[in-house]
Structure 1
Amino acid sequence: MSDVEVVRARALDGVAHGFLGRSGGVSTGILAGLNVGTGSADDPEAIAENRRRATEAVLPGARLVTVFQVHSPDAVTVIEPYSDRLRPRADALVTDCPGLALGILTADCAPVLFADSEAGVVGAAHAGWKGAIGGVTDSTISAMETLGARRERIVAAIGPCIARASYEVDEGFFRRFAEADPANERFFADGTPGHHQFDLEAYVAHRLAAAGIRTGEMLGEDTYAQPARFYSFRRATHAQEPDYGRQIAIIGIS
């Protein structure tokens, strides 16, 4: 699919993966583009076609697997696709099975893709602020280890997400992170009175490094600031739009 933009990470070179945005899809209106979110009010047939296009752009012929994301720290091991009705509530997936495309949906939260090429194990995590501070990346790494991965070999990449300049939070949000670890204050910059600017991407990168991941890449793509390329929940909220799209990050074993 030449018109589907696939953003790839150098850290994952040689692994079938991609962070996708809006381009190349069939959705229209405020959701125009490659919207893959079943939680949106989009035409189900358009969503299905967008998911097919996204999968084909990253791992042709693979079967896409997603979960019912709930901002948790939970990771599941996948051996075959779930039906929509039976998708587990979780925010990360891991597998060692070829032909499966693990998909994580985002609209400002950080998608994180993982691989241990030597072990033949991959993972994908949805790291919003709740999942990030709750340890979703740690859970993903541990689940990969149960399949034979070794954390010193695991590489990870953090895809398009809301950047610090676009992510204003209140004092209570700041205190939650500072009380968890005073060192977390470095991920916040001063904002308007009573507010701070939070660097989600840098915080997730810190959690990866603290877990023993030696190679972690940040793509530095702000979803909020690029309306033509990415969906953004916060941007849609600020614009008082009635709905918002979701983009997908995919990784799999050829």
Structure 2
Amino acid sequence: MAEVEVLRAAALGAIPHGFLGRAGGLSTGVVAGLNAGLGAGDEPATVQANRQRAVAAVAPGARLVTVYQVHSPDCVTVREPWSEEARPEADALVTDRPGLALGVVTADCAPVLLADRTAGVIGAAHAGWKGAFGGVTDATVAAMEALGARRTAIVAAIGPCIAQASYEVDAEFVARFTRADPALVRFFAPGRAGHAQFDLAGYVAARLTAAGVGQVECLGADTYAQPDRFYSFRRATHRGEPAYGRQISVISLP
């Protein structure tokens, strides 16, 4: 079995964190690898074992906490771990409690890990286009601030997600953004007739910067274009596959 692959961001430094790929897991079939998604049709016990491998590779001994992701702008503050059955519906988590590992799962959406080292506050967000447009990263920064973080001291890293070259959208998608702000057209490159290519990571980075985050790093890995390394909802859809896996991104306080 391959080793678990952990991508780390220089911006987050020594904060225990990692963006996991699909290498090193126990899942088989179309979701073969380190599938961390409970909604992928995989065996729940296998998914839990994969999640344990991910946490062990990033923050050994930490207790993983996740949410029931619904593409919302909502962020929750974690003060103590909850069971899988009690997960709140949200798309971001923040905490100031050591020993907890915040996790989000993605399959083309952008995972965002955030930290204010001095304040001892961390966050994790699942930012698909809908959540990003709705303000999930803004809500995460605000929730970190409520725990004592300073916006200018927060560093954020955007992990593997679908890249602009792989993310074709239609004219109505573009209009949804430009109606809100005509300047957002800069995140769309020309595509085939009636379509454009959307820069999700660039848009998320811009939202973070506009929220006052002190440093933003984008890892630049394309989930769609690297089937051996990452899961991708869009790629699975284009291939007509019956299911798709999810990779997990994790951050913890030392």
TM-score (norm 1): 0.99
2:128 alignment partner AA = G
Structure 1 distance, partners of 2:83, 2:124, is: 19
Where structure 1 has 5 or more consecutive residues not aligned to the other structure, the ranges are none
Q: Secondary structure at the match of 2:124?
A: strand
Match of 1:95?
95
1:158-198 CA distances to partner (integer Å, 9 max, x unpaired)? 00000000000001100001111111000001111110000
Match of 1:220?
220
Correspondence 1:39 to 2:39: yes
Match of 1:234?
234
Where structure 2 has 5 or more consecutive residues not aligned to the other structure, the ranges are none
Structure 1 distance, partners of 2:48, 2:72, is: 25
2:247 alignment partner AA = Q
Write the mapping of 1:96-115 to structure 2, written as runs, cut at 5 A: 96-115=96-115
Match of 2:60?
60
Structure 1 distance, partners of 2:11, 2:27, is: 31
Structure 2 distance, partners of 1:55, 1:79, is: 19
Write the mapping of 1:138-149 to structure 2, written as runs, cut at 5 A: 138-149=138-149
Match of 2:70?
70
Give the number of equivalent residue pairs.
Answer: 254
1:213 alignment partner AA = V
Structure 1 distance, partners of 2:248, 2:83, is: 18
Match of 1:164?
164
Give structure 1 regions of 4+ aligned residues with deviation exceeding 3 angstroms: none
Structure 2 distance, partners of 1:224, 1:247, is: 13
Structure 2 distance, partners of 1:80, 1:21, is: 27
Structure 2 distance, partners of 1:73, 1:171, is: 24
Q: Secondary structure at the match of 1:152?
A: helix
Shift in Å, 1:126: 0.4
Q: Secondary structure at the match of 2:153?
A: coil
Match of 1:181?
181
2:190 alignment partner AA = D
Q: Secondary structure at the match of 2:152?
A: coil
Structure 1 distance, partners of 2:151, 2:138, is: 10
Q: Secondary structure at the match of 1:144?
A: helix
Match of 1:194?
194
Shift in Å, 1:43: 1.1
Shift in Å, 1:82: 1.5
Structure 2 distance, partners of 1:174, 1:81, is: 39
Shift in Å, 1:213: 1.1
Shift in Å, 1:45: 1.4
1:110-167 CA distances to partner (integer Å, 9 max, x unpaired)? 0000000000000000000000010000000000011100001000000000000000
Identity score, percent: 69
Shift in Å, 1:214: 2.1
Shift in Å, 1:2: 8.1
